[in-house]
């Protein structure tokens, strides 16, 4: 067997089973700076070979050094008893700075190494064999060393106890590996764990069931008491929210979650989108985390009118002889810049105020021929229209129109909505705007705008509201001639999920418990109508309407709903109104 010597060699030093030092130099008397060892083809350069509870017998460190060939060279190696043997990077520099590196390979694949011939013989000799000797640049080899060291340097997984102690990892994959096998690994709570014998060392990275499944012994670490969720351990009585349901960690380390129906129901979304209902459902993020009950209580807010109001006289509109209404109409196209965009009532159950202010804003703008284009203040109604009204806990449409006629309101810029700052509906702030009569039914504000940046505190009023007939043609004619109208409607659980298309209430929840089927009364602004032809040739008529759930909901805050069949009672109670506009208003503005 050939030998290889270096300057300052400590020849003959006995390393037992690891071989004999043939050449090297030292930083001190116990730690060689580099080693050249004689023995079987095993090696580790630049880092200790396979860490264990006991330090390696020899450590080989990267270094540049000159060599003198004495005899043909055999393999370079370090070896640690009891572990699979690998050939690891070892960087040597002969005169002329010619460099080469040995790459990782299992012992069973290593060829016999012999000396090369010719000018490069000052380095060492080895046949290519299975191409296990690769010429690499120095930084690539160093990177490989660093990658190899990650597992050795990583902290143990179970220093504070075993997480997910009952998890079936090795057992699920029927995985137990001898020695060290870095690919004998499985995902574990955001990291990886191993099922090889090498994991069972002082700093353990074994999977939780390795000891029981692979070794048949109890684990050496205690289980952590608590419940796992999302890679995190929660203590007993710890909680997290799953949509609208609170989950609590029980003493038996099991989660107990509430079973409230959520406003955003992924199962219902999928059922609607997979069915042929003519519209699409989606997750409106503002509703995530709310229960269905909260949606009904906080996102609607119109109290169904009393029987006396529901029986009020209807004003019938008759088409003139030969008059034909268009198949499609949109108020914003006939009155550009006079139809206002939807507002957002937040979690204030005040649709009674929002829909009233929305219709009045458009009607005042249209009837003043654009001389007055206010966005009227829902907050003015919520805080000041308190007689038989409940603010953000619900209100009556007839009471809202009475207040607009007798007291009037200012613009939303003057008196902005305050409900967005609260998470849930509650008592509204006290009224900050009052008015007094100035003659001929007109009124004047008696306070400055609550918004100190706005000076215009003009009061806007309307005439008495009137009820339209329930025939869709009459509603269409009124809308086309005088502007958007207000409509009462019943909102069901699936309406909150509306994303686009022509809405109609679906039966997807009929097979579920009754608590999943809820409805409440709402009010909206109808702005137009249209007609859509389906692939099978059917024509579906619809209304277009503005909601008060902000522009991110539905079709930019609007929705379409089936027309002509009183879908969700939307044609059962429809109101119109005239803006109170005098010649002095036209001239003044």
**Residue 213 falls within a domain, yes or no?**
no
Q: Are residues 144 and 279 in the same domain?
A: no
Report the alpha-carbon distance of residue 158 to residue 155 in Å, rounded. 9
Q: Are residues 11 and 132 in the same domain?
A: yes
**Residue 588 falls within a domain, yes or no?**
yes
Residue 105's H or E segment, with its range, is strand 105-106
Q: What is residue 452's predicted lDDT score, i.e. its pLDDT?
A: 92
**Residue 30 falls within a domain, yes or no?**
yes
Return the number of other C-beta atoms located less than 10 Å from residue 100's C-beta.
Answer: 18
Q: Report which DSSP code applies to 119.
A: G
Q: Which residues pair with 488 in a beta bridge?
A: 523
Q: Which residues pair with 545 in a beta bridge?
A: 526, 559
Pick the catalytic residue from 522, 558, 566, 589: 522
Q: Are residues 351 and 498 in the same domain?
A: yes
Is 54 among the residues known to form the active site? no
Domain-ending residue, one of 95, 121, 151: 151
Q: What is residue 119's predicted lDDT score, i.e. its pLDDT?
A: 41
Q: Are residues 128 and 272 in the same domain?
A: no
Q: Which residues of the chain have pLDDT under 70?
A: 1-150, 420-426, 584-589
Domain-ending residue, one of 91, 119, 151: 151
Containing domain of residue 115, as a range?
Answer: 4-151
Q: What is residue 424's predicted lDDT score, i.e. its pLDDT?
A: 60
Find, among 106, 102, 104, 142, the residue nearest to 125 by Cα. 102
Q: Are residues 353 and 486 in the same domain?
A: yes
**Residue 21 falls within a domain, yes or no?**
yes
Q: What is residue 105's predicted lDDT score, i.e. its pLDDT?
A: 26
CATH of the domain at 283: 3.90.70.10
Pick the catalytic residue from 347, 380, 385, 547: 547
Q: Are residues 361 and 489 in the same domain?
A: yes
**Residue 147 falls within a domain, yes or no?**
yes
Which residues lie closer than 8 Å to 236 by C-beta, 6 or more apart? 225, 226, 227, 249, 250, 251, 253
Q: Are residues 322 and 471 in the same domain?
A: yes
Domain-ending residue, one of 128, 151, 174: 151
Q: Are residues 140 and 12 in the same domain?
A: yes
Q: Are residues 140 and 288 in the same domain?
A: no
Q: Are residues 11 and 139 in the same domain?
A: yes
Given a contact cutoff of 8 angstroms between Cβ atoms, the answer to whether 5 and 68 are in contact is yes
- The β-bridge relationship of strands 558-562 and 498-503 is parallel
Q: Are residues 147 and 268 in the same domain?
A: no
Is 566 among the residues known to form the active site? no
* pTM, two decimal places: 0.66
**Residue 22 falls within a domain, yes or no?**
yes
Instruction: List C-alpha distances in Å: 117 to 123, 127, 507.
Output: 10, 11, 85
Q: Are residues 358 and 498 in the same domain?
A: yes
Positive or negative, the CA dihedral 545, 549, 555, 556 is positive
Report the alpha-carbon distance of residue 83 to residue 66 in Å, rounded. 32
Given a contact cutoff of 8 angstroms between Cβ atoms, the answer to whether 164 and 254 are in contact is no
**Residue 218 falls within a domain, yes or no?**
no
Domain total in the chain: 2
Q: How many angstroms from the chain centroid is the CA of residue 204?
A: 34
**Helical packing angle, 351-367 and 472-482, nearest 10°:** 50
Find, among 299, 373, 362, the residue nearest to 553 by Cα. 299
Q: What is residue 420's predicted lDDT score, i.e. its pLDDT?
A: 59
**Residue 410 falls within a domain, yes or no?**
no
């Amino acid at each position: 067997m050939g030998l290889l010597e270096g300057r300052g060699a400590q020849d003959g030093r006995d390393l037992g089973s690891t071989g004999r030092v043939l050449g090297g130099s030292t930083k001190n008397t116990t730690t060689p700076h580099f080693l050249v060892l004689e023995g079987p083809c095993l090696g580790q350069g630049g880092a200790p070979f396979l860490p264990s509870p006991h330090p390696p017998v020899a450590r080989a460190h990267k270094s540049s050094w000159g060599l003198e060939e004495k005899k043909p060279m055999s393999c370079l190696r370090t070896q640690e008893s009891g572990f699979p043997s690998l050939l690891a990077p070892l960087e040597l520099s002969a005169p002329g700075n010619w460099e080469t590196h040995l790459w990782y390979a299992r012992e069973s694949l290593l060829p016999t190494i012999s000396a090369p011939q010719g000018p490069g013989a000052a380095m060492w000799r080895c046949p290519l064999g299975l191409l296990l000797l690769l010429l690499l640049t120095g930084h690539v080899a160093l990177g490989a060393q660093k990658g190899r060291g990650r597992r050795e340097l990583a902290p143990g997984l179970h220093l504070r106890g075993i997480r997910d102690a009952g998890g079936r990892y090795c057992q699920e994959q029927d995985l137990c590996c001898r020695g060290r096998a870095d690919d004998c690994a499985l995902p574990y709570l955001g990291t990886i764990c191993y099922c090889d014998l090498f994991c069972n060392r002082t700093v353990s990275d074994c999977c939780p069931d390795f000891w029981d499944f692979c070794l048949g012994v109890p684990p050496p670490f205690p289980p952590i008491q608590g419940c796992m969720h999302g890679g995190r351990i929660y203590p007993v009585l710890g909680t997290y929210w799953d949509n609208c349901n609170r989950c609590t960690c029980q003493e038996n380390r099991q989660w107990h979650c509430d079973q409230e129906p959520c406003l955003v129901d992924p199962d219902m979304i999928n059922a609607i989108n997979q069915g042929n209902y003519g519209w699409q459902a989606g997750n409106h993020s503002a509703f995530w985390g709310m229960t269905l009950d909260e949606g009904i209580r906080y996102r609607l807010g119109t109290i169904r009118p009393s029987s006396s109001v529901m029986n009020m006289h209807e004003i019938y509109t008759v088409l003139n002889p030969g008059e034909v209404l268009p198949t499609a109409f949109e108020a914003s196209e006939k009155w550009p810049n006079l139809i206002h965009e939807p507002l957002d009532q937040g979690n204030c159950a005040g649709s009674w105020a929002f829909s009233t202010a929305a219709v009045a804003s458009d009607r005042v703008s249209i009837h003043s021929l654009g001389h007055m284009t206010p966005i009227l203040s829902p907050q003015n109604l919520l805080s000041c229209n308190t007689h038989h009204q409940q603010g953000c806990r619900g209100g009556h449409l007839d009471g809202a129109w009475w207040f607009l006629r007798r007291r009037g309101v200012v613009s939303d810029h003057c008196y902005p909505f305050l409900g967005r700052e609260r998470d849930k509906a509650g008592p509204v702030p006290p009224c900050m705007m009052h008015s007094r009569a100035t003659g001929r039914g007109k009124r004047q504000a008696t306070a400055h705008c609550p918004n100190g940046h706005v000076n215009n505190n003009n009061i806007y009023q309307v005439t008495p509201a009137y009820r339209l007939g329930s025939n869709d043609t009459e509603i269409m004619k009124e809308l086309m001639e005088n502007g958007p109208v207000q409509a009462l409607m019943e909102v069901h659980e699936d309406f909150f999920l509306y994303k686009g298309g022509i809405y109609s209430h679906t039966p997807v929840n009929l097979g579920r418990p009754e608590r999943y089927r809820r409805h409440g009364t709402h009010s909206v602004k109808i702005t137009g109508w249209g007609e859509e032809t389906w692939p099978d040739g059917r024509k579906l008529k619809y209304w277009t309407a503005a909601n008060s759930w902000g522009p991110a909901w539905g079709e930019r805050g609007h929705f379409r709903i089936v027309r002509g069949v009183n879908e969700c009672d939307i044609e059962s109670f429809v109101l119109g109104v005239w803006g109170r506009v005098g010649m002095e208003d036209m001239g003044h503005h």
